[in-house]
Chains A and B, each alone.
Chain A
């Protein structure tokens, strides 16, 4: 087998040297009746060529020829080729967690740079070296807030990503923690009056998302003031951190967490991604996950190590701040490379492009009779549109023209029937939006007719840039 370096002769020599007669003897420790007497029933062996063929076949049954306006926590952004070129270096790809610092200065320094970039983006003082993803990072932020405040009540905005809320619910279900959900206002933002009446002196944390699940930007400063009054921590989740290049950083928050997938990590059907968590210096010993710190070697040279490890499970066991053992180093590295490439100006320009395209789409689509934008708050690259009739038919018709026209909100918000969540990043072209508007017009309140297939195919989806 091509991956195995020992020859049959090597194996025999090794067996001889350790005084065994057969391979089977190696497994004498396992009781006879527990040993598997038949080959596993799995496919293979496949040559490399067969593996490629197998997965290429699977990859065909996908949406890769479609223009997609799906966002909702996972964002399709252009990925510069340099990212994969650098990630494919075996020294990064095939290294373990950097416990042996002298052999892992590359990973450690890159993660130190990641931590720095996250603090700059979020306006926080410290950031960890990444967590599994945005949903678990938000959950870890909640657990952290409970440790800091020693309180056991959590208030969640209904506009926090529904799957993030589900994860938090799963983690808190056996810890006797009270959970309260605060509805949204007609603006699409959290209802401030409702919020005020739901915060009390038992509240450990309020969790909001900004831009929230509807794309609306939250009034972090006001919310922070309300939260502070009752001694709770404010957690702001940011699943689309590209927004932070144009939208004021939530520096009034106590913890800012989110998802770094937007920064050069493939969409990959939902993972692997890289969650981030940033906070104030005074909470540093309650941070979950890995932290990289700067230090010096015995000759005074700058170097980096994993630090404050006494928070962690391998030292503290059942008293650890978290059970998390890994970060998502490789994805965090992708994000670091991406952010360095774009840099201060590039990231801002990219955010401006997202903003321009999104507002163009909103204007063009909502100008079709019967369609409207129900929420009034400012938004970045996502917005909600209300359709006049069955949204599901509209989406199906768009699909015939190779467009995935957004997410039906009814799936998560039963009260939002016929509401779609649309995300317009730089990979969506004006021509695609105009083509959508064409279909929208067919579904508009005054001219509902069938769209012919010919009309849609006249403008096929092009290559994404």
Chain B
């Protein structure tokens, strides 16, 4: 039954509804008269008509075809699929926090403003930076915001710079954001340790370069241990260092980017700070900066006066402007703050320790069966290559699909691009040893299958509602909506 839930439109029949309205307490009007023939619309063609129970069953059934963190281990590298505490949902839904309008007068919105200000204060302490904006709606928007600020900084000093250096191991959003910011991305080849090499950097870092975008730990899960020297060299040429904070789960409470020489960075509240991914958003991508970049932060910013009253300051003449309407994804700030409060100082450090321990445990247990991309200790994630399995015609994507049959969500497939057939595993602190052992057993078992019966791997998954989907046809002849 639940395997055959059609589209909601296919359940529709005229006259049904899933919600009734309260009685109208003002005189009814004629929409046709008020709006006039020119503007009046008589119906929305094709719109569904179903009852409340049908809606409940429809979406409940759909949900059973999904896999979430609540379902089981979700070792998706670079995505930090940690537990999303349920109390965070409860507090984000509180009347007053979920119901205040962004144009509520300051004096009546002190609760919301306080939550934003306290979240900001905690994130500044955690990153070791000097100031922050919570406005960017997601990590990629945080990147763009940071780049626009770098641009504004150089412009303010009457400098024109064209390029941003981006290591080849970076997330795809980095070079994409560079383009949108009006810069050109220059690829920086990683060295044989999978890191930014000083020589390569020296060659690329000229006075035409506005800065370097660096992920640390990088996407291989390796800490860029030359970071101070890298920053020194970028600064020596008048450039700035942007840190993609996607991997902050390896650092919270252990090290602070503000002390590495980083000038600007973004955080992903939906990764490090446990706000739910929700099947692909909403996220939140606060941008933290050092003093020199503070004047350029998106406007407005929230300030606390001597009496403890929170004010919204729009008077920011050097600001790059708004990147999103209102205050950004406020609801995500509520959840992130609830996360920080739950753990406190020691707890936050414990999270990092557990996340790094778990990744190193997986690395140690799988390296006999799978080839490590770079033989270095892991931070919060580890990256293998499918090179050995490829000899049997099995690729990283096949192994990922076979993991589904073993009851796990796959790791991240084929990223970073500099690793042939990458298998990127990030267990996070939320995986118990017992779960990791089961995952490791599954991976080892698949490695044996690859040698003994590769076909069972290449035809996986075998246990899901649908088997492998034809992506080529979907792209060639796009069907993007239901039609009667």
A-side contacts of B279, CB under 8 Å: 92, 95-98, 104, 106-107, 110-111, 329-330, 333
For residue A45, CB closer than 8 A to chain B, the reply is yes
A-side contacts of B445, CB under 8 Å: none
What's the Cα separation between A41 and B255 when bound, in Å? 13
* CB pair B464 A102 closer than 8 Å: yes
What's the Cα separation between A329 and B278 when bound, in Å? 6
User: Closest residue of chain A to B261, judged by CB?
Assistant: A34
For residue A344, CB closer than 8 A to chain B, the reply is yes
For residue A374, CB closer than 8 A to chain B, the reply is no
Contacting residue for A6 out of B143, B276, B433, CB 8 A: B433
* CB pair A126 B404 closer than 8 Å: no
* CB pair A327 B41 closer than 8 Å: no
Chain A min CB distance to B419 (Å) = 15
Chain A min CB distance to B396 (Å) = 12
* CB pair B94 A56 closer than 8 Å: yes
User: Closest residue of chain B to A217, judged by CB?
Assistant: B39
For residue A244, CB closer than 8 A to chain B, the reply is yes
Question: Known contacts being A104-B279, A170-B321, is A34 close to B259, with CB within 8 Å?
Answer: yes
User: Closest residue of chain A to B11, judged by CB?
Assistant: A340
Chain A min CB distance to B323 (Å) = 6
What's the Cα separation between A399 and B105 when bound, in Å? 10
What's the Cα separation between A336 and B413 when bound, in Å? 30
Q: Which of A43, A317, A430 has the most CB of B within 10 A?
A: A317
- Which residues of A1-41 are within 8 A (CB) of B? 1-6, 10-11, 13-15, 17-20, 23, 26-31, 34-36, 39-41
B-side contacts of A68, CB under 8 Å: 101, 104
* CB pair A247 B276 closer than 8 Å: no
Contacting residue for A43 out of B84, B140, B260, B344, CB 8 A: B344
For residue B469, CB closer than 8 A to chain A, the reply is yes
* CB pair A103 B353 closer than 8 Å: no
A-side contacts of B282, CB under 8 Å: 132, 271-274, 326, 328, 330-331
B-side contacts of A201, CB under 8 Å: none
For residue A458, CB closer than 8 A to chain B, the reply is no
What's the Cα separation between A14 and B36 when bound, in Å? 73
For residue B202, CB closer than 8 A to chain A, the reply is no
For residue A60, CB closer than 8 A to chain B, the reply is yes
* CB pair B65 A105 closer than 8 Å: yes
Against A, the Cβ 8 Å flags (1 = close, 0 = not) of B386-405 are 00000000000000110010
For residue A407, CB closer than 8 A to chain B, the reply is yes
Q: Which of A42, A80, A219, A426 has the most CB of B within 10 A?
A: A42
What's the Cα separation between A355 and B87 when bound, in Å? 38
Against A, the Cβ 8 Å flags (1 = close, 0 = not) of B34-45 are 111011110111
Question: Known contacts being A170-B321, A340-B50, is A60 close to B140, with CB within 8 Å?
Answer: no
* CB pair A29 B344 closer than 8 Å: no
User: Closest residue of chain A to B17, judged by CB?
Assistant: A346
User: Closest residue of chain B to A296, judged by CB?
Assistant: B470
What's the Cα separation between A431 and B468 when bound, in Å? 58
* CB pair B277 A96 closer than 8 Å: yes
For residue A193, CB closer than 8 A to chain B, the reply is no
- Which residues of B96-133 are within 8 A (CB) of A? 96-105, 108-112, 114-115, 122, 125-126
* CB pair A293 B21 closer than 8 Å: no
- Which residues of A58-74 are within 8 A (CB) of B? 58-64, 66, 68, 70, 72-74
Chain A min CB distance to B359 (Å) = 9
* CB pair A350 B21 closer than 8 Å: yes
Question: Known contacts being A4-B429, A26-B353, A342-B19, is A133 close to B325, with CB within 8 Å?
Answer: yes
* CB pair A297 B330 closer than 8 Å: no
* CB pair A378 B35 closer than 8 Å: yes
* CB pair B172 A316 closer than 8 Å: yes
* CB pair B468 A298 closer than 8 Å: yes
Chain A min CB distance to B48 (Å) = 5
Q: Which of B66, B114, B280 has the most CB of A within 10 A?
A: B280
Against A, the Cβ 8 Å flags (1 = close, 0 = not) of B322-339 are 111111111110100010
Chain B min CB distance to A226 (Å) = 16
A-side contacts of B126, CB under 8 Å: 40, 42
* CB pair A344 B223 closer than 8 Å: no
For residue A410, CB closer than 8 A to chain B, the reply is no
* CB pair A15 B377 closer than 8 Å: no
Contacting residue for A116 out of B43, B281, B482, CB 8 A: B482
A-side contacts of B421, CB under 8 Å: none
For residue B455, CB closer than 8 A to chain A, the reply is no
* CB pair A133 B44 closer than 8 Å: no
* CB pair A44 B340 closer than 8 Å: yes
* CB pair B17 A52 closer than 8 Å: no
Q: Which of A4, A20, A176, A245 has the most CB of B within 10 A?
A: A4
B-side contacts of A143, CB under 8 Å: 180
* CB pair A359 B29 closer than 8 Å: yes
Contacting residue for B29 out of A1, A344, A352, CB 8 A: A352
Question: Known contacts being A40-B125, A267-B101, A340-B48, is A109 close to B87, with CB within 8 Å?
Answer: no
For residue A166, CB closer than 8 A to chain B, the reply is yes
Against A, the Cβ 8 Å flags (1 = close, 0 = not) of B56-91 are 101110111111111100101001010111010111
A-side contacts of B100, CB under 8 Å: 62-64, 267-269
B-side contacts of A1, CB under 8 Å: 342-343, 347, 350
* CB pair A404 B105 closer than 8 Å: yes
Contacting residue for B21 out of A296, A349, A407, CB 8 A: A349
User: Closest residue of chain B to A271, judged by CB?
Assistant: B329
What's the Cα separation between A98 and B76 when bound, in Å? 12
User: Closest residue of chain A to B408, judged by CB?
Assistant: A103
User: Closest residue of chain A to B80, judged by CB?
Assistant: A96
The interface stretch among A149-157, A307-315, A365-373, A444-452 is: A307-315
For residue A197, CB closer than 8 A to chain B, the reply is no
The interface stretch among A81-89, A180-188, A227-235 is: A81-89
A-side contacts of B89, CB under 8 Å: 88, 93
For residue B139, CB closer than 8 A to chain A, the reply is yes
B-side contacts of A359, CB under 8 Å: 29, 34
* CB pair B409 A127 closer than 8 Å: no
What's the Cα separation between A126 and B478 when bound, in Å? 10
- Which residues of B182-230 are within 8 A (CB) of A? 182, 184-185, 222-223, 225, 227-228
Contacting residue for B172 out of A85, A221, A320, CB 8 A: A320
What's the Cα separation between A80 and B471 when bound, in Å? 36
For residue A429, CB closer than 8 A to chain B, the reply is yes
* CB pair A378 B39 closer than 8 Å: yes
Against A, the Cβ 8 Å flags (1 = close, 0 = not) of B4-21 are 010111001001111111
B-side contacts of A26, CB under 8 Å: 353, 356-357, 360, 377
What's the Cα separation between A465 and B328 when bound, in Å? 28
Question: Known contacts being A167-B322, A352-B28, is A62 close to B111, with CB within 8 Å?
Answer: yes
Question: Known contacts being A296-B473, A360-B27, is A324 close to B98, with CB within 8 Å?
Answer: no
> What would 13 more interface pairs be, CB under 8 Å, given A96-B81, A103-B66?
A35-B254, A55-B94, A73-B325, A90-B69, A90-B70, A126-B480, A132-B282, A167-B321, A268-B100, A272-B329, A317-B176, A328-B282, A360-B27
11 CB contacts below 8 A, A to B, read A4-B430, A34-B228, A58-B112, A92-B63, A92-B66, A100-B410, A103-B67, A106-B63, A272-B137, A295-B470, A343-B12
Leading 8 A-B pairs by shortest Cβ distance: A270-B326, A44-B344, A90-B70, A330-B278, A59-B96, A174-B182, A45-B344, A272-B282
